[in-house]
Amino acid sequence: MQITDVTLIQRILAGEKKAFAELVDRHKDRGMTLAMRMLKNREEAEEALQDAFIRAFSALPRFEWKSSFSTWFYRILYNVCATRLSRRGEDIHMHLDGSEGEGGFDVPAEDLLPDEKYESDEFQSMVTREIEALPALYGSICTLFFMQDMSYDQIVEITGLPLGTVKVRLFRGRMLLRQSVGRRLGSGKLKVV
Amino acid sequence: MNHLTENEMLQVVDGSMLNGEKTRILVHLESCPRCRKEVEFSRNLERAARSAPLSKPSREFTARVMGRIAPQLKPSIGTWFINNLANILAMTLVLTVVWYAVTLKKADGPATGPTVVSNALAVYSEYYAKVRELFPADRIRAVQSPMTDQSAETNKIILFTVISILILVAVDRLVLRRVIRLRR
């Protein structure tokens, strides 16, 4: 039976150093994915992730158990990455105006694939590449939504953004992803059999 | 025929259609192969997005994090004792030998200093000087073949050579540990 995050945190607070290593091992891959999709640079993403774990460790005695460790930790990581982005001059906290799209599709139906092609590794790789290429503004929200399977409320808690902004960003991110994959299909990168 | 909007299509994918709109959207999907195909494409796209492989940090990542938080951790007395076991043993040996040397000196004659510490230092300095003095080739041979020369002086030379090595080991260990800590 796998030990829960709660038990690990209790052990850490009792002075068991090894338990924190297990917590790091448990969350580092998902954390790295979020950091990579925000910062788009492997080295910087790893540094940000390291900073986030160290901050989490220092703040662990103040952890209030109101949310899960992962939600709390991703909030720290998101803020570390957002700070790094703002140092580069990219503001991830800006609020977007405008409504969710009402337009039609721009992926020609004839470029869509037969069902079996959706199961291929090639399609999977193409989608992965396109998610990684999404701007940080949308990539971060889409990553939390898809990768972590998080609800709107959890994303609001992590990002500190208003619910409306989260919804708009997620919608736009999903549409951008759809359009970019559609364009690739249209350009014949993945041949329809 | 009006096709579904992007928003309506995502509502179908998420299963979050509003009650008032649900019937209209479903009726449209029944009769529109294009919109059905678009919805299917979106479903598969998002399924692929959910199962996209995770990025992994470097292999030594966890060790590096643990190295950086190490100074923040307050070790228990037991952990501290184990971590410093070699230092404790080395220092115990040094102190034992110094105590032994002081005892030897007292047996030879009256103490020359006012305190035990100054006696110990004086004795150690005296014997260390002798080691330096006797270090040349003939004495090295004597150390290498103790069975042929069992004099008390040779034993003392060996003893204080060991003390010197132990002190060096203890100092080196402390310096080394500091360097490692700084690198972290």
Residue of chain A with shortest Cα separation from B36: A109
The C-alpha angle B112, B122, B168, rounded to 5 degrees, equals 160
Residue of chain A with shortest Cα separation from B77: A15
CATH number attached to the domain at A109-186: 1.10.10.10
* Cβ within 8 Å, pair B6-A146: no
Give B144: exposed, middle or buried? Use CB within 10 Å, 0-12, 13-18, 19+: exposed
* Cβ within 8 Å, pair A149-B50: yes
For chain A, domain boundaries: 5-87, 109-186
Cα–Cα distances (Å) from B184 to A102, A128, A190, B19, B65, in that order, read: 54, 35, 47, 59, 9
The alpha-carbon gap from B87 to the nearest alpha carbon of chain A, in Å, equals 23
The three-class DSSP label of residue A139 is: helix
* Cβ within 8 Å, pair B64-A50: yes
With contacts defined as CB-CB under 8 Å, which chain A residues touch B10?
171, 174
Mutate: best of A8, A13, A24, A99, partner B, most B CBs <10 A? A24
Place of tokens 């005296």: B126
Cα–Cα distances (Å) from B54 to A28, A72, A178, B132, in that order, read: 10, 20, 20, 65
With contacts defined as CB-CB under 8 Å, which chain A residues touch B55?
29, 32-33, 35-36, 42, 45
Q: Which amino acid is present at B176?
A: L
pLDDT < 50 stretches in chain A: 95, 97-105, 107-109, 188-193
Tokens (6 digits) for B90: 């080395």
For residues A58 and B159, give the distance between their C-alpha atoms in angstroms, rounded to a whole number.
49
Residue A43: per-residue pLDDT:
94
Question: Among partner residues B44, B64, B72, which is closest to A118 by beta-carbon distance?
Answer: B44
For residues B170 and A88, give the distance between their C-alpha atoms in angstroms, rounded to a whole number.
48
A5-56 per-position pLDDT tens digit:
888 998 888 888 789 999 999 999 999 999 999 999 999 999 999 999 999 9
* Cβ within 8 Å, pair A53-B65: yes
Residue A29: per-residue pLDDT:
95
With contacts defined as CB-CB under 8 Å, which chain A residues touch B12?
none
Residue contacts between A and B (CB atoms, under 8 Å) = 123
The three-class DSSP label of residue B2 is: coil
Question: Among partner residues A101, A109, A149, which is closest to B7 by beta-carbon distance?
Answer: A101
For residues B38 and A105, give the distance between their C-alpha atoms in angstroms, rounded to a whole number.
8
* Cβ within 8 Å, pair B10-A174: yes
* Cβ within 8 Å, pair B49-A127: yes
The alpha-carbon gap from B8 to the nearest alpha carbon of chain A, in Å, equals 8
Q: How many Cα atoms occupy the beta-carbon half-sphere of A114 within 13 Å?
A: 4
**Helix A17-39 and helix A69-87, axial crossing angle in degrees, nearest 10:** 50
Cα–Cα distances (Å) from B64 to A49, A51, A77, B72, B184, in that order, read: 11, 11, 17, 14, 8
* Cβ within 8 Å, pair B57-A29: yes
Fold of A5-87: Rna Polymerase Sigma Factor; Chain: A (1.10.1740)
* Cβ within 8 Å, pair A20-B69: yes
DSSP label at residue A183: H
Cα–Cα distances (Å) from A7 to A19, A53, A154, in that order, read: 9, 18, 22
Residue A100: per-residue pLDDT:
45
DSSP label at residue A102: -
Residue B158: per-residue pLDDT:
77
Question: Among partner residues A54, A105, A181, which is closest to B6 by beta-carbon distance?
Answer: A105
Question: Among partner residues A30, A54, A131, which is closest to B69 by beta-carbon distance?
Answer: A54
The alpha-carbon gap from B89 to the nearest alpha carbon of chain A, in Å, equals 26
**Residue B45 near residue A127 (C-beta atoms within 8 A):** yes
Residue A173: per-residue pLDDT:
92
Of B53, B68, B42, the closest CA to residue A36 belongs to B53
With contacts defined as CB-CB under 8 Å, which chain B residues touch A12?
none
**Residue B16: how many other CB atoms lie within 10 Å:** 9
For residues B74 and A64, give the distance between their C-alpha atoms in angstroms, rounded to a whole number.
22
**CA B41 centroid distance within chain:** 51
**CA B42 centroid distance within chain:** 49
For residues A178 and B46, give the distance between their C-alpha atoms in angstroms, rounded to a whole number.
9
Place of tokens 């350009």: A187
Q: Which value, in Å, is the radius of gyration of the alpha carbons in chain B? A: 40
Query: pLDDT tens digits for chain B (184 residues)?
Result: 688 888 888 888 888 777 778 888 888 888 888 888 888 888 888 889 998 899 999 999 999 999 988 766 555 677 667 767 777 777 777 777 777 776 766 666 555 555 666 777 777 777 777 767 766 555 555 555 555 555 676 777 777 778 777 777 777 777 765 665 555 4
Greatest CA separation found in chain A? 61
Greatest CA separation found in chain B? 118
Place of tokens 């986030």: A52
